[in-house]
Chain A
């Protein structure tokens, strides 16, 4: 196995009565940006802390390049991490924060200047961190993660607090870093933040894996054979299409989503019955929708396991 991977195997971590991570397994390959998605409290941060050796898993393994974190001799050169952008001493200047990190690995001071330039913080880094906006903290945190030029990056909610320009910047940066062959794990509780950034998704809910899939596959699956239809005669259209074997859902006041019937057949049926309609087209799911669909399953899933104490997984 190559150096630049993140592996989580059967990870389990309990805090008191809460099972934060429950048998989670996934792998992040080099050259990909993997989105790590789940609602707040799903176990994303616990998994990341376990990968960084901050939390000790009760069971299972969290490995970087096949090794547990504490076995890394020069961790900053192997993994860059951004856990909490607010983790700064307010009276320490931004560049001093990077200086002590650099000193811990004997890195030359020009690395500090390089990463500050890379994140656009050359000026702001001369001020104390207490006065930074959330966006500036995120940039400094990313600079700290990049300090050791590591092949693996773990970023916990890096988009949080960035302005639109900043979001665009980080998307470009992450894509670029992935193209260089780095393995990147980016967590988020908002799927939309990962649109156009992630190649791969690891979706978790209540500490369990819900999906481990390529983004393209997920979108294709979520789009399915759905057809989007705009009509002023909603009721007639719904009755007609349902009678003919379609499943019809109301999406908006004049918009219906039809499954189970191809678009040509719908046009044919509506025209024959003289039901007025304006648009008929194949539906293209957004990542957000795909995610909602996944998590809806997860909610059903968790409600069944609540009664099933054996916790037998069957999806």
Chain B
């Protein structure tokens, strides 16, 4: 056997200066990958156009005309302000005390949990005027409420077991509510300053009975049962301290007929006083925000739903095509730290989809608002919405964040599943299917779906605030999401974060 002479060649030295492959370089590499595939740029443009066009179509399909006159509260919001009142004037400081002895259904359809009987101080009898009130309710104990949108819980006493003492004290613009079980020991419920409260106000006893609808839903069908729209509250031990121009008490239906009363359902209230000083007020209506008016913000974002599909496709393809072609090996050879690659891909896709989404939702919203204006959605019931103020700002930016999060969710699942069709199907099942199912499934299931799945994030597009002190059925088909806007978006953030962690774990563990 012969031996070849050992070659002695000096090892090669690269002529290039080694620069550390930093994260900024990596971002630039991933960005280059994105824009050099023309189809992806096209999908991005189509996503924006489709979003704007469908927002516009959705808005032009909605119109409003006529309807009952609306009442605006002190904060400019649409409110219900109709109730039975037994009142007198109060000039200067003073106190009203009474004992609520019972609250009964007067319509035969059951008593709603938010039926109210209590004491109110109101700047005038005009519907929508500022007020503060203490009250007993059948379902939510003792409350102090003021100016429609504010609600403070008191003792959770039950009127059917024991009567409830209530007291409302006025000192200048300051109103303080108290509650007591025996009329001796008083608990302070809360204190509120009603700015601009006139010297002479109306004080008295009131009863309000909001219509409460019980919705029964099975697959495909929805039936509504309207509950009580009329209730009788009984009071005794009524005392009045202070100066009044009236000699006694007057009974009035404030805001009659009740704005939300159904045709043929509006009956005048009654007030009876027994010789022993027992007052029985029978009335309808409610003193609360009106949550049944159309949501002009939400109506302007119907295109986001479609734009989302394109973002899901982009997020998915940005990673799954690399797995399909074997390009991911080139990527990991250039950058052995796979977590950095995942971070760079996430950053690039999140930025691209957010920016495009923001442009699309801002334009879509502005155009949709203009269409809605010409379709009859006019101030004061539908005030002008500024793009730079909540809830419009929240909905525009939030929708862009939503699109971006969904793209990142798709990218993360793409890393885990390494397959385009499977990833897109999974994301659609997670984000869009719950929405569709929520229109058909029984209400508790539907609401659970909109709380527990990423679909909850669409709550960010809600412009109407759902107050806890208003009985609301929250029907998904009327655009109601059970979570508040930010909580809803947080659900999607949680899903996306979990998917990213799963992606980080698998991408490190598996062979490429």
Contacts and interface: CB of A to CB of B under 8 A. Distances in A.
Interface of A: 2-5, 30-32, 49, 52-56, 69-70, 72-79, 81, 83-84, 86-93, 96-97, 99-101, 103-107, 111, 144, 148-151, 178-183, 199, 214, 216-217, 220-221
Given A49-B512, A74-B19, A75-B21, 10 more contacts: A49-B511, A52-B332, A54-B333, A55-B511, A73-B18, A75-B333, A104-B334, A106-B21, A106-B25, A178-B9
Nearest to B337: A70
Interface string B16-59: 10111110011011101100111100000000000000000000
B329 A74 contact: no
Contact of B325 (A4, A76, A87, A101): A87
Contacts of B25: 103-106
B325 A88 contact: yes
Minimum-distance CB pairs A-B, first 6 = A31-B9, A96-B36, A104-B29, A87-B326, A181-B12, A4-B11
B69 interface: no
Contacts of B14: 77-78, 148-151
Contact of B511 (A56, A72, A149, A182): A56
Contacts of B326: 83-84, 86-87
Nearest to A95: B36
B335 interface: yes
B333 A149 contact: no
B2 interface: yes
Nearest to A69: B336
Interface string B269-307: 000000000000000000000000000000000000000
22 contacts: A4-B11, A31-B7, A49-B512, A75-B333, A76-B333, A88-B325, A88-B327, A89-B322, A92-B36, A100-B33, A103-B32, A104-B335, A105-B19, A105-B21, A106-B21, A106-B22, A144-B330, A148-B14, A149-B14, A151-B13, A182-B12, A217-B2
Given A93-B36, A111-B16, A86 B7 contact: no
A199 B9 CA distance: 13
A30 B13 CA distance: 11
A72 B336 contact: yes
A32 B22 CA distance: 32
Interface in B474-494: none
B3 interface: yes
A100 B327 CA distance: 12
Given A56-B511, A87-B330, A32 B7 contact: yes
Contacts of B185: none
B334 A49 contact: no
A76 B336 contact: no
A105 B32 CA distance: 13
B1 interface: yes
A106 B19 CA distance: 7
A179 B29 CA distance: 32
Interface residues of B, number: 45
A177 B164 CA distance: 96
Nearest to A181: B12
Contacts of B37: 89, 91-92
A53 B36 contact: no
B321 interface: yes
Among A72, A78, A87, A93, find the residue whose CB has the most chain B CB atoms closer than 10 A.
A87
Given A73-B20, A75-B334, A77-B18, A84 B329 contact: yes
Contacts of B11: 2-5, 30-31, 151, 181, 183
Contacts of B325: 86-90
B10 interface: yes
B15 interface: yes
B29 A100 contact: yes
Contacts of A81: 333
A61 to B, nearest CB: 15
Contact of A99 (B9, B36, B38, B512): B36
Contact of B512 (A3, A31, A54, A220): A54
Contacts of B2: 216-217, 220
A54 B16 CA distance: 25
A148 B16 contact: yes
Nearest to A52: B333
Among B25, B33, B39, find the residue whose CB has the most chain A CB atoms closer than 10 A.
B33
Interface string B188-219: 00000000000000000000000000000000
Contact of B20 (A5, A74, A111, A183): A74
A89 B18 contact: no
Among B39, B326, B330, find the residue whose CB has the most chain A CB atoms closer than 10 A.
B330
A95 to B, nearest CB: 9
Nearest to A53: B336
Contact of B3 (A3, A52, A179, A217): A217
B22 A91 contact: no
A52 B21 CA distance: 17
Among A88, A104, A180, A220, find the residue whose CB has the most chain B CB atoms closer than 10 A.
A104
